[in-house]
Structure 1
Amino acid sequence: MKIKWGIVSCGRIAKDFTAALQTLDKKEHEVVAVAARDLKKAEAFAQEFDVPKFYGSYEELAKDPDVEVTYVATINPSHVCVCKMMMDNGKSVLCEKPMGMNRKQCEELIAYAKKSNVFLMEAMWARFNPAYVELRKMICSEKIGKVKHANCTFGIPMQDVERLGMKKLGGGITLDIGIYCVHLASVAFWREKPEKIIASGYLTDEGVDWSASVIMEYSGGRSAAFTYSGLISMANEASVTATEGVIKLRTPFWCTDVLEDMESNEVIFKVPIVELPNTNFMNSYILRFEAEEVRKCIMKGKLQSSTMSWDDTLAVHEILDEIRHQLGVVYDEDISTMNPSRTRKSGSSDINQESKCSKAL
């Protein structure tokens, strides 16, 4: 049975996701509509990807009876209101990461999905990457022994990405790329909560973070360590060290297509490549696997995925909240949910969520 997609926003990741969707069986997936705040951009997107309908507002797409599931790729602060709009109209939602600006917003969306009885998932494509699935199997079966440490670096110069420097647009690097590092640790220690988190980094006068180093301590002397930056290039590799081996995730680790035995340099797993020309991001064909998961869940009548569950989203965002707290990054969305002691370095104006939503729409 086919599911019919609506693409909400026409940015770079939305284009790559749509291109990846079109590599799947057309009897199972079809993009039937796209929406942007600018009708001309929506029309251009529709022409590029042969989408039959295009809209100049997200509300029009939400009300389209042909759309069954939506991929929400709007700016981060608008995720809550846009996802709610889709769910109000009976649409299932795959929401680009981060699902919310903090754990509280994620809880709000999850409660809304339950009430609306629709599927909701955060689009963390790494979880569905066959390389990560294989890594998880190796860890859970203890094929490499017991995991003791996970490590990664993620650095790409991104000062030219305007939104990353603007707090009102959800700027900052922790929610943009640091989230991948936290997810790696979540996979390596399979959903275990760290006992201690230590984070430090660089903030701009605007109060957004451009780089950070984080250590997470787990029981029994186990740990994860990672550094991420939007200022410099880094190796962008990851490794998981266990008592009987070390597995390397080749660059780019967040969407790697190769697992390697670090001691022998032997390739132990490789994701079959699907040609996808003219994409904006590396290995974007891997986005197809999260789309397949959405369809499987919807076909089974599930409201959430067992691979990227609501609990997974909440656990990761709890860690992200703590990292941001230690760095001193406070968004307007945090003011009503955080303790007054957590509002240092905010520099925030009192803009409520409804105002931000109206601007986004």
Structure 2
Amino acid sequence: MTLRWGIVTAGKISNDFVNAFNSYPDKGDQEIVAIAARDKNRAAEFAKIHNIAKVFDNYEALATSTDIDVAYIGALNPDHYALTKLFLENGKHVLCEKPFCLNAKQTQSLINLSQKKQLFVMEAVWTRFAPSYIYLEKEIAAGNLGEIKFVEANFGISCESDRVLKKEYGGSAVLDIGIYLLQLSQYIFKEEPQKVTAVGNLNDSGVDVTETMILEYGSGKRAVLNSHVGLTLWNRATIYGTKGRITLEDPFHFPDKVTAVDGTLKTFPLHTSSLLNNFGNSAGLVYQAVEVARCIRAGLIESPRMSHKESLVLAKLMDTVRSQLGVHYDADDQEFP
């Protein structure tokens, strides 16, 4: 039975997700059948570009329709909680863009709702499904790096978008790109850090635009992570073990090249499409859609590769970083069921 997707918002990341999905030949029996946006003309144009059959001019109509089984939410950060809640309450599975929510309280609330409704929900940390990360995981499991002791990674972009720089849009370097650094550390060490230290800078809007984060784990294990939304950095990550190191080459958050323990360069080519993407290596966005379909068909409400617990840990880490830097949202003062 075909798994039917609805796309929520017609922005840049939604464009790339749909493009990656439609151009991938091995996605199985699933298709994108509907698009919803507040601006119906924009939704109609999106549908025309991507050959989507149904257009909705509001999210409630899509959520209550019988046309879709699962929603992909590519909205601005402050809308993630309400939109995910809307679709779960109307019996739809959800893949929501990262960051899942503005804080851990919202994240826990949605996890609770997913469990109550027995519906699948996942934060769209597409990195977890990259072939290069699967390779890294296998190398670690095989013992080729020995005991992992240290991780260092940078993610810096030159950004002028209000989506990242304005508090009212949920702007934040750690929520926008720092989450990729934090998820890498958690992916490697697979335990919550014993201590988190963050230093950084805020802009006039009260949003963090740069941070250095030090995560300390047991037995002297440590990650040093740098994020910056005003400067392009060398965005690669190196994982150091007692037997050697592996480097995820730029862009480390979804690399198509990895420098292996023996120094050779491994490549992980992505499929191509005739339509342009807005972000680098966006073809890889499809792998999470494949995982969503697999999990739903298996009767799961979370993915073992990007679990509810993982999203909650990441949310708590981002809360800690924001707290240390002095970044506060109105949602931090609210309670959620």
TM-score of Structure 1 vs Structure 2, range by shorter chain:
over 0.9
Distance in 2 between residues matched to 1:43 and 1:289, nearest whole Å: 26
Name the counterpart of 1:265. 263
Secondary structure of 1:255 counterpart: coil
Distance in 2 between residues matched to 1:272 and 1:119, nearest whole Å: 29
Quote how far apart the aligned CAs of 1:293 are.
Answer: 0.2
Q: Aligned letter for 2:113?
A: Y
Residue pairs, 1:44-55, within 5 angstroms: 44-55=45-56
Distance in 1 between residues matched to 2:106 and 2:143, nearest whole Å: 35
Quote how far apart the aligned CAs of 1:80 are.
Answer: 1.1
TM-score, normalising length: structure 1? 0.90
Q: Aligned letter for 2:301?
A: L
Distance in 2 between residues matched to 1:234 and 1:27, nearest whole Å: 37
Q: Aligned letter for 2:137?
A: R
Contact 1:79 1:99 in 2 (8 A): yes
Contact 2:162 2:169 in 1 (8 A): no
Residue pairs, 1:152-301, within 5 angstroms: 152-159=153-160, 161-189=161-189, 191-261=190-260, 265-267=263-265, 269-276=266-273, 277-301=275-299
The answer as to 2:85 corresponding to 1:80 is: no
Distance in 2 between residues matched to 1:25 and 1:226, nearest whole Å: 35
Distance in 2 between residues matched to 1:287 and 1:27, nearest whole Å: 15
Q: Aligned letter for 2:225?
A: F
Identity of aligned residues (%): 38
Distance in 2 between residues matched to 1:288 and 1:27, nearest whole Å: 11
Residue pairs, 1:1-361, within 5 angstroms: 1-22=1-22, 23-25=24-26, 28-159=29-160, 161-189=161-189, 191-261=190-260, 265-267=263-265, 269-276=266-273, 277-336=275-334
Distance of aligned partners of 1:213 and 1:26 in 2 relative to their CA distance in 1, 3 Å threshold: closer
Q: Aligned letter for 2:81?
A: V
Q: Aligned letter for 1:317?
A: A
Distance in 2 between residues matched to 1:219 and 1:233, nearest whole Å: 32
Contact 1:24 1:288 in 2 (8 A): no
Query: How many residues are treated as equivalent by the alignment?
Result: 334
Contact 1:125 1:287 in 2 (8 A): yes
Distance in 2 between residues matched to 1:170 and 1:26, nearest whole Å: 32
Distance in 2 between residues matched to 1:245 and 1:114, nearest whole Å: 41
Quote how far apart the aligned CAs of 1:26 are.
Answer: 6.7
Distance in 2 between residues matched to 1:275 and 1:27, nearest whole Å: 18
Quote how far apart the aligned CAs of 1:265 are.
Answer: 3.4
Quote how far apart the aligned CAs of 1:329 are.
Answer: 0.6
Give CA deviations for 1:137-186 in whole Å, capped at 9, x if unaligned: 22233221010101111111002x11222211101111000000001101
Distance in 1 between residues matched to 2:109 and 2:276, nearest whole Å: 37
Alignment RMSD (CA, Å): 1.4
Q: Aligned letter for 1:322?
A: T
Name the counterpart of 1:343. none
